[in-house]
Amino acid sequence: MKVISTEHSQVLATRVARALGVGLVEVKFSRFPDGEHYLQAGELDDETIIIGSVTDNEALVQLLLLIDACDSSRCRLVIPYMAYARQDKRFKQGEPLSARAVARALSSGVADVTTINIHDPSVLQYFSVPSRNISVASDIGAYLRTLDLDNPLILAPDDGALSFAQGIAAACGWECDYLEKTRISGTEVLMSPKELLAASRSVVIVDDIISTGGTIATASRMLYHQDAREVYAACVHGVFTSGAYARLMASSIRDVICCDTIERACSRVSAAGQIADVIRHP
């Protein structure tokens, strides 16, 4: 068995290969003069684990080319982060089911697919090969425990993220709740924990994705108004569009933590252990 990855997942792929005790396939990546992607894989194994986050359109094309280069019936695909997964419904007439389009394209040429905390696991139905979704909630929880927080509280930004938050809280042994929105007026919305109080507590807001950072920024402002001692943010996929990470760090949020499903300087939690487990025990 060998592990191979796109440019976007090379650090995570190295960690997975080390966890499995197998080699990495070297890949040369370049572009044709017109901008088209080119790649050339080194010596492949019959059984290849392909790791590639779809962070944007370029990453998607590179992953499609890599799957084709592997060209074996024993390729297993890991998609740590899958862009387009949030467009999983037709909200308006004439829209595509983008999640389905991407899942179908990535199913071709692989034996199975593993995703990590995909936005909605119902997207798995669109892969035409066996697929599964794994969670790094316990790994995030294990990391948060090392922060030595005072009277900590894990908060989901809405009830949809509650089960993810509960997984993190269970690993920490901390209390958990979600933020409920109450409309105060036509323009004002209050967000506060459904059952518990944030006052004097170290609150960690946890979500699957931080994209613009808007959800976290609003929640954090509300929590400081409710006298939270300090607010942290943790997510699986740090998309951080348009400078979101810097914006959040410049606010009163103490720290922003993400996983290496998208490789960032603040990727302090690795999905490698969970991926290696799935590969070992298909």
CB of 63 to ligand R5P, least distance (A): 21
Residue 218 CB, shortest distance to ligand R5P, in Å, is 8
- Return the amino acid letter for 88: D
Respond yes or no: is residue 194 known to be catalytic.
no
Segment interacting with ligand R5P (CB under 6 A) among 15-23, 75-83, 104-112, 213-221: 213-221
How near is the Cβ of 162 to ligand R5P at its closest, in Å? 11
| Footprint on residues 21-80 left by ligand R5P (CB under 6 A) | none
Residues sharing a CB contact under 8 Å with residue 117, sequence separation 6 or more, in sequence order: 133, 134, 135, 136, 137, 164, 208, 236, 237, 261
Q: Give yes or no for residue 214 binding ligand R5P (CB under 6 A).
A: yes
For position 215 contacting ligand R5P by CB under 6 A, the verdict is: yes
The residue within the footprint of ligand R5P, chosen from 212, 226, 251, 267 (CB under 6 A), is 212
Q: Tell me if 282 contacts ligand R5P by CB under 6 A.
A: no
Is 236 near ligand R5P (CB under 6 A)? no
Nearest CA among 77, 42, 40 for reference residue 60: 77
Total residues interacting with ligand R5P, rule: CB under 6 A: 11
**3-state per-residue secondary structure call for the chain:** CEEEECHHHHHHHHHHHHHHCCEECCEEEEECCCCCEEEEECCCCCCEEEECCECCHHHHHHHHHHHHHHCCCCEEEEECCECCCCCCCCCCCCCCCHHHHHHHHHHCCCCEEEEECCCCHHHHHHCCCCEEEECCHHHHHHHHHCCCCCCEEEEECCHHHHHHHHHHHHHHCCEEEEEEEEECCCCCEEEEECCCCCECCEEEEEEEEECCCHHHHHHHHHHHHCCECEEEEEEEEECCHHHHHHHHHHCCCCEEEEECCCCCCCEEECCHHHHHHHHHCC
Which one, 26 or 95, has the nearer CB to ligand R5P? Answer: 95
Nearer to ligand R5P, 13 or 179 (CB): 179
- Contact track, ligand R5P, 129-168, x by CB under 6 A: ----------------------------x---x-------
Q: How far is CA 252 from CA 87, 116, 198, 216, 242, in A?
A: 31, 29, 15, 11, 19
Q: Is 243 in the site for ligand R5P (CB under 6 A)?
A: no
Tell the smallest beta-carbon distance from residue 259 to ligand R5P (Å).
Answer: 14
Decide if residue 88 touches ligand R5P (CB under 6 A).
Answer: no
Q: Are 52 and 66 in contact (CB under 8 A)?
A: yes
Nearest distance, CB of residue 234 and ligand R5P, angstroms: 13
- Interface mask toward ligand R5P for 172-211; x: CB under 6 A: -----------------------------------xxxxx
Closest distance of CB 71 from ligand R5P, Å: 35
207 or 260: whose CB is closer to ligand R5P?
207
* Residue of the chain from 85, 213, 245, 272 that contacts ligand R5P (CB under 6 A): 213
Point out the residues that are catalytic: 181
Residues that bind ligand R5P (CB under 6 A): 157, 161, 207-215
